[in-house]
Amino acid sequence: MLWKDLFKKEQEKEYFKSLEEFLSLEEKQYTVFPPHDQRFSAFELTPFKEVKVVIIGQDPYHGEGQAHGLSFSVPMGVKLPPSLKNIFKELETDLGCEGPTSGNLKGWAQQGVLLLNTVLTVRKSEAGSHQKKGWENFTDSVVANLNEQCEGLVFLLWGAPAQKKGKSIDRQRHLVLEAPHPSPLSSYRGFFGCKHFSKTNEYLIHQNKKPIDWCLFL
């Protein structure tokens, strides 16, 4: 399977045609994030056959210059959002990674970490504005294909929406790790101390796969 095969199959479906119409209208009237050419960055940086880990986010960031197509990630030079700060705090506690100078997680993506948002676009300054327009169908298909066609993946599901998205994952074939969302509202309820990064690497090694260098961001 290649991403382009999945894309081609989904683009022929009615929901995707409706989604494209909606996005075309949105882009004429509003600012939409991430920029059009970065919408599918997660798939460009992490080919299907190289996926080892899937981190499922929600909406892209809706602030100016934040979203660039990778869940939880921001471009170099952009101030760290609170959730990403907490991810880095847990990373430091779990693996001793020192706080990075950048919130760009491209280095993870290039090692096989698919940074997948549930919805791939958002209207500027309006969180949730592109929910229930078709993206959820598309990302459901992404998760379903990874679940069916791959062996020994790790799915990191942080927060209720990600956990709902992962209900259909075969836990006999893949490792599913769940924790509260890393946002300041919920991180103290169990995200801190979850040790998902070290647990992921232990599992990958057990699967005879190269572990992720979580301290390598760019």
The DSSP letter of residue 28 is H
Q: Report the alpha-carbon distance of residue 213 to residue 115 in Å, rounded.
A: 15
Spatial contact of 178 and 157, defined as CB atoms under 8 Å apart: yes
**Residues labelled as active-site residues:** 59
Q: Report the alpha-carbon distance of residue 179 to residue 191 in Å, rounded.
A: 5
One-letter-per-residue 3-state SS of 186-213: CHHHCCCCCCHHHHHHHHHHHCCCCCCC
Structure token digits, residue 45? 């940086």
Query: Which three-class secondary structure state does DSSP give residue 53?
Result: strand
Q: For residue 139, which of 158, 120, 157, 124 has the smallest C-alpha distance?
A: 120
